[in-house]
Amino acid sequence: MLACVVIAVLIFNLYGAVDASLLPLDDAYIHLNYARSIAVGQPYRYNPDDPPTSGATSFLYPYLLAPAVLIAGERPLNAALWAMQLGAVAFAAAGALVGALGRALGAREGWGVTMLAFMFTGLFAWHAMSGMETMLITAASLLALYAVAIRSIRLGALGGTLCALLRPEGAILALLTAGALYIAAINLTPPTGGVRLIPRRYQLRRELLLLLVPIAAIGIQPLVNWIMTGSPGSTGGSAKSLLGMVPFDAGIVAVRVIENFIRVWRDLLLGNAPDHVIGALFVLAIVGWIALLRRDRLTAITIALWAVVLSGAIATLDTAFWHFRRYQIPLIAVVYPLAAVGLSLILTRLFSRPRARALVRTLTRVGLAIGTLIGALTFLSHYLVNLVAIGEQPYPLALDLAAYPDRDARVAVHDVGLMRYIGGLHTIDMVGLTTPGAAAWWRQGPGAVGEYLDSTRPDLIASYGEGHGVGLGYLADTDLYAETLSEYTSVLDEYNVALAAPTQGLYRPNYATADNAARTVLQDYMSVLDGASLVDYLDVANLESERAHNYQWWNNGFLPGFATEWHQFPLAGCIVDDCVSMDGGRRLTGGEIFTLDTLLGQDLLLITRVHASAARAIWVEFLWEGQWEIADSSRLITAQRGQWVDIPTFRYRDLVGETMQVRVRLANDSIVYEPYAHFVYQHGVPVDFSGLGLPVSDEVDVTFIPGYLYLMRDRVIADGNLTVTLNWWAGFNVTGDVKRFAHLSDADDEIVAQVDGYIAKGALTVGNLPPGSTRDPIQFDVTGVQPGTYTVYVGLYDANTLERLPADGDAVDRDNRVRIGTITIEEPSS
């Protein structure tokens, strides 16, 4: 024990000499901030004015840190020293327990050398000095297993209780320890008199009641979480668990969990653990466990069950291997006492001669000494690397927040620990560890995160960009990162566990482009919207809006990538300056169902906004009298990547109730549908289409096949551009992905200017025209065109085959072009 204390003190001073004011993991500052809330009498409140949250995964650890935070006062970084001291004490205790457990498991030789090897292993030293609870749960786990090995109910109650209070997964060993000691006790208890209905061997001694304590301790954290936050689970689990994957696919999750489980054991077996000495000792540990199975089956089975169940629980985490496998450290620590058993067996069974045994013992000590020394120096360098990274990025960002003049400002943060602990501003945790309800948005992907930021409107964003991965890159490419206030970079190597990306900055968002997402430009073009009002609006990927509309979505098969995306695009058909908007939406291979509030007995126009990344067809269906009815023909999404496109769907007033359930699904399952919003427009009075938009005397009436389209002309020449406004009147049988072309031809029928694309400035394909008339301004560039009389022709063609649609009428030429009229361009007056 003394040797362990001396080495722990040495490690503490060595690591403290590197930098005793900063810690290498931002998560440590999450614990410190929760400790501060305990110290000031507001437990579980990460921000004083926020509801309580369960972001501190360890129940007990913040309480152990609270005195130091209170004493540190105006110098909060000093609390890091106390966290390191707690780690050093736990490290010394864990080392002593490694030796004691080795002896208890029957290692007559080798327990001392493996104990010292444990103390000098750089991986354990790193975690002891990380400011986290890792070494505390390791010591508690070793204590619980030691209690099982020596059949001590009191130590088992203590160790199991500490396990349950220090980490949620500690409940596994708490339960196994209580069970194993109970089995041991009833098998050792001599028969006594008692109640006849209960066999005498199962009559408990009073001491066995202590085993109820660790079992009761398992429920403390969920109970307190439920009382404080309304939920028994922790937000850390919500944000990190593979079981919360969105979109959820049981097969994919099962594969990921199995892969993680296999990797835990493969890395130990092949020596790919963070410290290679562990890999060498693991082989000895296997030998030791086999020997233990013959000598002490109860302890061997307890260790095996704990190892399997624990590694299975860890395998469900998306973060299973983060931070040098910190969740696996208690499991890795048990390798050492088992290795002592294996080494003792080899020395006594295979090397009976004293000289040979002494030689092997010496070689083992030298090999472990060299290996652990190399590992110790390596992890000391890793510690320095991560301290430098913390000092280069989150710490200066936190100082920027601490100096920010508006102390009422709210800042959205990715790594939330140091930013809140030092920065002092109200934080909104994008990941959701410390902000109530935010984890659900994070799990849905960047589109939902963008919607969450839009709904909460933080004044600042302190986060990574695309270097963290594609996800935050979606946000960084929009006006959420509009103004850069400061940016800090760090050169990351493969041993960095402190930072998620090389660059992290402080940004001021511009929400004007988010406000633009709630309007449609189709009002500028379609007569059916003249005088109409917005009745309901479903903002896809906004979880609150989705809940309010009973929104459901599905995929046909697993769709890789994020369930939601966030983009900033122009809106097709927009003719004003503020037509760019940022918005979040979903990626689907199946479809969506939702309920809309509507006005009974009024014509309805549903506008579905999509990212038109590729051409596809969708069915828009309304539930009416228990049956799904297709509104019109299929709606077409035209290929206009990088733009928002609004798809209108009309429904007659006779088929509209007080609410409408709508289903939108892909006509082809092999492609992706990307909805971003649904708008419902209705008229205060029923629309009379009988006289709306009918041709006037100077129009040219032409029948295109399929459908009926009437055109009229209105011409304006200004600033070198000729604007001709067409008015398209759609019948209800207009279908197809159809574009419009327009020619300006001279007297020799040579084309001097032309325009090509979808009507209404690219907003609509003919196949999506609603009833009524649709205005279609066409603008020819006539700069350099000589004065004279020119003819305007218009036609339609299939966007996929490029074949022109046939037309019938006196104004149609042999090329299926409609002659609209003539335009005279005159010499400009001097």
% of the chain surpassing 70 pLDDT = 90
Does the pLDDT at position 734 exceed 80? Answer: no
Question: How far apart (Å, rounded) are the C-alpha atoms in residues 458 and 575?
Answer: 31
pLDDT tier for residue 350 given thresholds of 50, 70 and 90: low
Report CA dihedral (638, 639, 645, 647) to the nearest 10 degrees.
20
Q: What integer is the mean pLDDT of 92-109? A: 93
Question: How far apart (Å, rounded) are the C-alpha atoms in residues 431 and 452?
Answer: 11
- Neighbour-count burial for 133-150, b at 16+ CB within 10 Å, e otherwise: bbbbbbbbbbbbbbbbbe
Q: Which pLDDT score is estimated for 368?
A: 77
DSSP 655: G
761 close to 574: Cβ distance less than 8 angstroms: yes
Q: Which pLDDT score is estimated for 829?
A: 43
pLDDT in tens, 243-256: 887 877 788 889 99
Q: What integer is the mean pLDDT of 562-579? A: 87
pLDDT in tens, 588-619: 999 999 999 999 989 999 999 999 888 888 99
Which of 372-386, 631-645, 789-803 is least confident? 631-645
Q: Which pLDDT score is estimated for 392?
A: 94
229 close to 59: Cβ distance less than 8 angstroms: no
| 555 alpha-carbon distance from chain centroid | 19
Q: Which pLDDT score is estimated for 598?
A: 95
- Strand partners of residue 317: 241
Q: Which pLDDT score is estimated for 188?
A: 67
* Residue found under tokens 């194993």: 180
Does the pLDDT at position 476 exceed 50? Answer: yes
- Mean pLDDT across the chain, nearest whole number? 87
Q: Which pLDDT score is estimated for 697?
A: 33
pLDDT tier for residue 735 given thresholds of 50, 70 and 90: low
Which of 332-346, 454-468, 535-549 has maximum average pLDDT? Answer: 535-549
Q: Which pLDDT score is estimated for 56?
A: 86
DSSP 448: H
pLDDT in tens, 640-657: 899 999 999 999 888 999
Question: How far apart (Å, rounded) are the C-alpha atoms in residues 223 and 216?
Answer: 11
pLDDT tier for residue 391 given thresholds of 50, 70 and 90: very high
% of the chain surpassing 90 pLDDT = 57
Does the pLDDT at position 695 exceed 50? Answer: no
282 close to 371: Cβ distance less than 8 angstroms: no
pLDDT tier for residue 191 given thresholds of 50, 70 and 90: very low
pTM as predicted: 0.89
Quick check: bond before 62 cis, omega within 30?
Answer: no
Q: Which pLDDT score is estimated for 686?
A: 65
Q: What integer is the mean pLDDT of 506-530? A: 90
Q: How many CB atoms lie within 10 A of CB 552?
A: 12
pLDDT in tens, 534-566: 999 999 999 999 999 999 999 988 888 899 999
Q: What integer is the mean pLDDT of 473-480? A: 95
φ, ψ dihedrals at 761, nearest 5° = 60, 35
602 close to 674: Cβ distance less than 8 angstroms: no
Does the pLDDT at position 673 exceed 70? Answer: yes
pLDDT in tens, 3-55: 899 999 999 999 988 887 899 999 999 999 999 999 999 999 999 999 999 88
pLDDT in tens, 271-311: 776 777 888 889 899 999 999 999 999 999 999 999 999 99
Residue 750, helix vs strand vs coil: coil
Question: How far apart (Å, rounded) are the C-alpha atoms in residues 465 and 481?
Answer: 9
Token couple for 705: 């096949």
